[in-house]
Structure 1
């Protein structure tokens, strides 16, 4: 048996190393695509988002389906008012109007979602210059979500976002009539679950609609300053 003092030293060193390893892990760049199944310009952006989901773990792609195309022949089954409200807040910062396909990167920059060159450049810039106010981790626990946020500087809204990994939809009317669309990381819900003010914080929230869930830290100006996928130990990691 090791002496108590040595055991304590080893435990402290292990905790320190674990803490440093956790803090050093880069957070994913959050890419939000505002899209609609009723928009003929959106499928190329949807395909690009799917490629990001399939190939890059350093990017967290989320597809928000808006409702304002629904009156033009096809009602997008994944559209919801929360997507409209989120895009409207971004519109106040960027262009003063909403459009599809719009891609917002880390809440700080926006590009046309089908412009792969501009989007890739914005993602690379966010990856090199992005701010992480605090480390975030989250797990599914007993039907809910347990969230741990470390200490840091600043304040942020804590958001829980639920999404489905993939949907395939045959379009019967509207601008995409006759096409079958494959869409990834389709957001089904977004809920504010708390406020972080710089000190370490533990939160417990009910699970929201969606196969997978992520936690975002959003600054008052809309910038994303923290992000983590919710880990479900019973499943393979979600992209």
Structure 2
């Protein structure tokens, strides 16, 4: 999951990436939902995240399935320890404790994921106040991902996220026993691929697990300051 090959991409690949750039489009608000199939309070939040995925291109919803519900009768097949670690970072930042369903908006605000009114308010607040340190564009070409980050101010970790569009899971045990859960934008892998320090940066890395991918810029305080969905080269518009 974490194995990768990272290199500066050549001028030809950079030109290809630039030709398909979506620089005119504002970056999406990143919504991270920490959830579990073993949590009876989570399905309403999962449904809301699915609606965001289906209806809002200005939002990048990502579902991180945590592992700490697994010992209570049902092992979530999409849970992984990196999700726990990411939520623990947010818990320290917000001086809170990990819980499900927790929704974190742009790395700066957290709400109960099933509270649609609070989530909508936080998303709209993020849209109106979000800082974008630099534009990000990314294209997948087979097993490779080319990332282009523009110039700007500040520093940020460059994160690559792999996620699946949708899964339907019959749950056989635990708090949701007998339920069939439909869940969207399920994160399958998550890794750092570089550091951005204000100057234009071009990276080339291996694709990671997941039907789709996204690139995030995360500032040192945890705020998301850049984001883009990875576009498949076959689906990219002509230059």
Please give the TM-score of this superposition, normalised by the length of structure 1. Answer: 0.89
Q: How does 1:49-64 map to 2 (within 5 A)?
A: 49-64=49-64
Segments of structure 2 that go 5 or more residues without pairing to the other structure are 1-17
Q: Write the distance in 2 (CA, Å) between the matches of 1:172 and 1:160.
A: 32
Equivalent residue runs for 1:141-160 within 5 Å: 141-160=141-160
Partner of 1:82: 82
Question: In the aligned structure 2, how far is the partner of 1:167 from the partner of 1:236?
Answer: 25
Aligned-partner Cα distance in 2 for 1:235–1:76: 32
* Residue-by-residue CA offset, 1:79-111 (whole Å, 9 max, x unaligned): 000000000000001143100000000000000
Q: Contact 2:160–2:191 at 8 Å: present in 1 too?
A: yes
Q: 2:165 aligns to what?
A: 165
Name the count of aligned residue pairs: 219
Distance apart, 1:233 and its partner CA: 3.0
Which position in structure 2 is the counterpart of 1:222?
A: 222
Q: State the alpha-carbon separation in 1 of the partners of residues 235 and 212 from structure 2.
A: 10
TM-score when normalising by structure 2: 0.89
User: Aligned to 1:145, what secondary structure does the other structure show?
Assistant: strand
Deviation of the 1:143 alpha carbon: 1.1
Distance in 2, Cα, partners of 1:64 & 1:110: 14
Q: What's the CA shift string for 1:168-208, capped at 9, x where partnerless?
A: 00000000000000000000000100000000000001100
Tell me how large the CA RMSD over aligned residues is. 1.7
Q: Which has the larger radius of gyration?
A: 1
Show the counterpart of 1:73. 73
Which residue number in structure 1 is paired with residue 114 of structure 2?
Answer: 114
- Give the distance between the partners of 1:87 and 1:236, measured in 2 at CA: 33
- Whether the 8 Å CA contact 2:22–2:137 is kept in 1: the answer is no
> Would the aligned equivalents of 2:137 and 2:147 in 1 still touch at CA under 8 Å?
yes
Question: How much does 1:24 deviate?
Answer: 3.9
| C-alpha contact 2:134 2:152 (8 A) present in aligned 1 | yes
CA gap 1:140/1:53 in 2 versus in 1, 3 angstroms: same
Instruction: Give the secondary structure class of the aligned counterpart of 1:25.
Output: coil
Between the aligned partners of 1:93 and 1:25, the Cα distance in structure 2 is 30
CA contact (8 A) 2:45 2:114 kept: yes
Structure number with greater CO (CA < 8 Å, separation at least 6) is 2
* Runs of at least 5 residues in structure 1 that lack an aligned partner in the other structure: 1-17
